[in-house]
Structure 1
Amino acid sequence: MGTTCQETPPLLQDLKVTIHKTSMIFPSKQTERQSLFLSNIDKVLNFNVETIHFFEANKDFPPQIVVEKLKKALEDVLVVYDFLAGRLKMNSETNRLEIDCNAEGAGFVVASSDYKLDQIGDLTYPNPAFEQFVHKTKDFLKLGDLPLCVFQLTSFKCGGFTIGITTSHATFDGLSFKTFLDNLASLAANKQLAVIPFNERQFLAARSPPRVKFPHPEMIKLNNLPSGIESGVFETSSEELDFKIFRLSSNNIKNLKEKAKDSSTARVTGFNVVAALLWRCKALSGPSDPDRSSTILYAVDIRSRLNPPLPKSYVGNAVLTAYATAKCEELEKGKFSRLVEMVCEGSIRMNDEYARSIIDWGELYDGFPNGEVLVSSWWRLGFEEVQYPWGKPKYCCPMVYHRKDIILLFPPFHEGDARDDGVNIIVALPPKEMDKFQTLFHNFLIS
């Protein structure tokens, strides 16, 4: 079938990274001091996202030249994205989280590794040591200062380098972060902005008064969280976890679509069939109870679903979690096409009125997405297609954390001009559950 499940390769634990310079980057022009409204979607995502972008050596752009061009581009881009140079604050009058656009700056770190790029191992495997390529924002230059954006450029002995970017998720979703990278790359090439960002976040404000018109089982109130859990599916697990990469080729995905073709209602897309397969494997790898219910969560972009629609260039978080719920017995014995239908129905449910109801729910309650598994897709965000002056990234990935309830989808790693519209799937589970998951995954594909 062409599938592989990658076992843990030999991993370097120390990438021998040396920090050479830590500084702040400020907007190249004066920006207006203001408070930026954050939507109820933004405020739920108040945690950092760390992404790593790997680049091969380019003789015309050695790392020291890239450092200069990247710093200049950052100074210019912070004029347009002025909130990235600001700081999160709580408005004492409204009791809402906001961004104080105070031009305090973004962080910039220059570092080097004693290795060559081709010596650090398989870039697709989530090596915990890759965290040495991103800079933690805590107490960056002065005690208590927490920049919303930090860049770290780490050069290798071969002339290749990584750009590790830490941003608060309250600032961007995946789509708007991709637009930000396109704009950064354009400015680094001395070009105009690729896209004019639309940053009017009041368009996703709750209605007054809030009108929650639907039950929202995909959300859980903060005071209803089980003991010891702080943030639902976003909570870091304290258990020992195995990490594995499952790979599906375009042929594998085509075969999954064939299994689902007797569905009369579902849009049999690549994402829907992959999500249905992962939901089944995750649910059945847990406790053996056919009456237990399992809920899958997955992000849906609401820009085009609202009335009127948001511009594609909307900055901020314009994604909500769709869901599907089923008993484990149905997940095990039911038709695969029905599982795909349920995933599809969760996406269809996300129309303007439903999305507004979730946003209004967030106005009334403090809470988080609630489910057994969250499928987070980086599959087609296109970070690896951003054209910088020094070339496109060789590979892009986020830092992977100890979260057993989040499954990540990535584009496959491409060597040269070879292209396969398959997907890499990163799963983290306790060892016994991982063994079950792997068996279920493999057996379903060959059945």
Structure 2
Amino acid sequence: MGTLYQSPPEPTIQDLKVAIQDSTLIYPSQLETQNKSNIFLSNIDQVLNFHVQTVHFFQANPDFPPEIAVARLKNALEKVMAVPYDFLAGRLKLNHQTGRLEIECNASGAGFVVATTEFSLDEIGDLVYPNPGFMQLIVQGLEKFDDQPLCVFQVTSFKCGGFALGMSTNHVLFDGLSFKIFLENLASQAFDDKPLAIIPCNDRHLLAARSPPQVTFPHPELLKLKLPIGEEDAPPVFDCKQDNLDFKIFSLNPNDISHLKEKAKIGGTKSTTKITGFNVVTAHVWRCKALSCVDENNRDRESMVLYAVDIRPRLKPPLPASYCGNAVLSAYTSAKCWELEDEPFSKVVDMVADGAARMSDEYARSAIDWGEVYKGFPNGEFLISSWWRLGFDEVVYPWGKPRYSCPVVYHRKDIILLFPDIGGASSNGVNVLVALPSKEMEKFQTLFHKYLT
């Protein structure tokens, strides 16, 4: 139960020998985006000024060779940037009067790169296994542009006729759910005569802080900043260098997840607890991670895990499901390490479920107002970042669905990544990417299998 994901038997090709053919900026198909007012960014958006990178692999389709797909994608981007996503062609600016970041809708363009590789899609190996070579499939270092586009696209064609679409997008633009909607709209505009799949809701004032701010809850999951918003870098990187970390992928198949759900019933979960796949996997991973660095001398240590909660349906009134922007806050739960070791699994699942249930309308508004007053980042022992059910590989393009869609993985001790297997949400299994110092990894692996029995 719960297998250690094995890398491909052959050595993974890490140098994909990518050659850039063209690098340019593309612009909205209409000029009406100019002279628009700046886009307000909520306090959730404000702290997410860093790029998120994803790669979407497509198999060869004789009706859509890469050069045709490139033309279709360029045209689709020009169309979506004309009206519904005009801010994609904008630039991030600091409003010195308010001290807040804004998006200036100035039609300065998005980056678009066309590249080739000497390999076929099948030759680059297992797409699920995080290959450092995939970094070559996205634009690295935006300094090649005079100013920094908020999004850059790279289409890399393989010699088999397949291709990879690499996207680097500033997190202020989208959370995972709104990025999925963007992909659906982009795909729709790559067809000849399709309307937008979903009209995005671009009113980010819906998540503005109250005036005056009302911080009605303590927020131990948030850490105050000393620097004004707009002057800080991306969220603090854990002080453990990647070279000092081992990384492994642990695969949970549907039977493993069902087993965890049954295990959660032993000892009795609370009647209000939802025994979901996410809750049991999060509880299992939290337990293993917290105890991987525990001995008899520090069992009283407090462990706090953070995990994202979509607040769209939790607000009153609810946000539109198509809200475009970041509408996700960090839920948290914490416990002494001895509790995680000694209490039944059902209690750990209760704690995870309670952490999510805490995210009511008032709690979310309090967290947003806290950002207005203190300006800070989420803060915990580690974050579980779930790409498990976002469904990027369910999006239908003219040339078909992606064979696989994934984040470009970087290894950090303070982030544990949940991502799907090939087949996406329909596979119902999940892969857990963990990066830890070697001794902690050995213990994590032992605990991961122990608590699955």
- The reply to whether residue 98 of structure 1 matches residue 102 of structure 2 is yes
CA distance in 2, matches of 1:36, 1:391: 34
Contact 2:154 2:165 in 1 (8 A): yes
Q: 1:386 to 1:15 in 2, by over 3 A?
A: same
Contact 2:48 2:234 in 1 (8 A): no
Task: Give SS of 1:260's match.
Answer: helix
Query: Which of 330, 340, 344 is the aligned partner of 2:349?
Result: 340
Report the equivalent of 1:271: 278
Report the equivalent of 2:15: 14
Query: Which of 221, 224, 232 is the aligned partner of 2:224?
Result: 221
Q: Any gaps of 5 or more consecutive residues in structure 2?
A: none
Q: How much does 1:387 deviate?
A: 0.2
Task: Give SS of 2:333's match.
Answer: strand
Q: How much does 1:32 deviate?
A: 3.9
Q: 1:195 to 1:445 in 2, by over 3 A?
A: same
Task: Give SS of 2:126's match.
Answer: coil
1:175-324 map, 5 Å: 175-190=177-192, 191-223=194-226, 235=238, 237-239=240-242, 240-261=244-265, 262-264=268-270, 265-288=272-295, 289-324=298-333
Report the equivalent of 1:43: 46
Q: How much does 1:128 deviate?
A: 1.2
CA distance in 2, matches of 1:353, 1:128: 42
- The reply to whether residue 167 of structure 1 matches residue 169 of structure 2 is yes
- Give per-residue Cα distances to partners, 1:221-240, cap 9 Å, x unaligned: 1249xxxx976675474251
Aligned residues: CA RMSD:
1.7
CA distance in 2, matches of 1:405, 1:15: 29
Q: How much does 1:11 deviate?
A: 2.2
Q: 1:230 to 1:429 in 2, by over 3 A?
A: farther
Contact 2:7 2:126 in 1 (8 A): no
Report the equivalent of 1:398: 407
Question: Letter of the aligned partner of 2:434 in structure 1?
Answer: V
- Give per-residue Cα distances to partners, 1:384-419, cap 9 Å, x unaligned: 00000000000011111131111111121139xx95
Q: How much does 1:122 deviate?
A: 1.1
CA distance in 1, matches of 2:429, 2:6: 19
CA distance in 1, matches of 2:426, 2:91: 41
Task: Give SS of 2:57's match.
Answer: strand
Contact 1:85 1:104 in 2 (8 A): yes
Contact 1:233 1:373 in 2 (8 A): no
Contact 1:275 1:343 in 2 (8 A): yes
Q: 1:233 to 1:427 in 2, by over 3 A?
A: farther
Give percent identity, aligned residues only.
62
Task: Give SS of 1:58's match.
Answer: coil
CA distance in 1, matches of 2:423, 2:85: 32
- Give per-residue Cα distances to partners, 1:254-290, cap 9 Å, x unaligned: 1100011120231100000000000001101124210
Q: How much does 1:6 deviate?
A: 2.0
Task: Give SS of 2:418's match.
Answer: strand
Report the equivalent of 1:125: 129
Task: Give SS of 1:445's match.
Answer: coil
1:9-158 map, 5 Å: 9=8, 10-30=11-31, 31-33=33-35, 34-79=37-82, 80-142=84-146, 145-158=147-160
Report the equivalent of 1:387: 396
Contact 2:80 2:185 in 1 (8 A): yes
Q: How much does 1:14 deviate?
A: 0.8
Task: Give SS of 1:130's match.
Answer: helix
TM-score under structure 1 normalisation?
0.95
Report the equivalent of 1:367: 376
Query: Which of 360, 367, 390 is the aligned partner of 1:358?
Result: 367
CA distance in 2, matches of 1:98, 1:223: 20
Q: 1:73 to 1:232 in 2, by over 3 A?
A: closer
Indicate the larger mover: 398-407 or 13-22. 398-407
Task: Give SS of 1:89's match.
Answer: strand
Contact 1:233 1:369 in 2 (8 A): no
Q: 1:411 to 1:236 in 2, by over 3 A?
A: farther
Q: How much does 1:137 deviate?
A: 4.7
CA distance in 2, matches of 1:283, 1:405: 11
CA distance in 2, matches of 1:69, 1:330: 55
